[in-house]
Amino acid sequence: MNKPVLFSTKFHKHYLQRIVGQKNLLDKVEKRIELFCINPKESILKDHGLKGEKNMLRSFSVTGDYRIIYQEFPDHYNFLDIGTHNQVY
């Protein structure tokens, strides 16, 4: 059984600011989130753990530059941020 995904206030804010106005990017984000919900370890997502002060977090790719930062819990995933590599790191 797949775990549910929760969206933080910061994620929602940045989704509206950075993604919604760009139709092609919006479509890709929606498809990647759907894929993540089906199989979080799908290789196309390039999921990986982060290092340093963000070592409790993980990231996966939406495009070559856009990422979603999330934290995994035993019973759910919490999406924390979305944006370009420079915006989220």
Q: Is residue 58 part of a domain?
A: yes
Report how many domains make up the chain.
1
Whether this model's pTM surpasses 0.85: yes
Establish if 71 belongs to a structural domain: yes
The predicted pLDDT at position 2 comes to: 82
Structure-token match 């919490």, residue found: 78
Range of the domain at 33: 5-82
Q: Tens digits of per-residue pLDDT, 19-74?
A: 999 999 999 999 999 999 999 999 999 999 999 999 999 999 999 999 999 999 99
**Domain presence at residue 55:** yes
Q: Is the residue at 72 inside a domain?
A: yes
CB atoms within 10 A of CB 24: 8
pLDDT interval class at 87 (50, 70, 90): very high
What does the alpha-carbon distance between residue 76 and residue 87 come to, in Å, rounded to a whole number? Answer: 24
Model confidence band, residue 1 (pLDDT cutoffs 50, 70, 90)? low
CATH value at residue 42: 3.30.2310.20
Q: Which residues pair with 5 in a beta bridge?
A: 77
pLDDT at residue 76, rounded to an integer: 97
87 assigned to some structural domain: no
The per-residue pLDDT for 15 is 98
Tell whether 14 is covered by a domain: yes
Is residue 23 one of the residues assigned to a domain? yes
Q: Is residue 89 part of a domain?
A: no
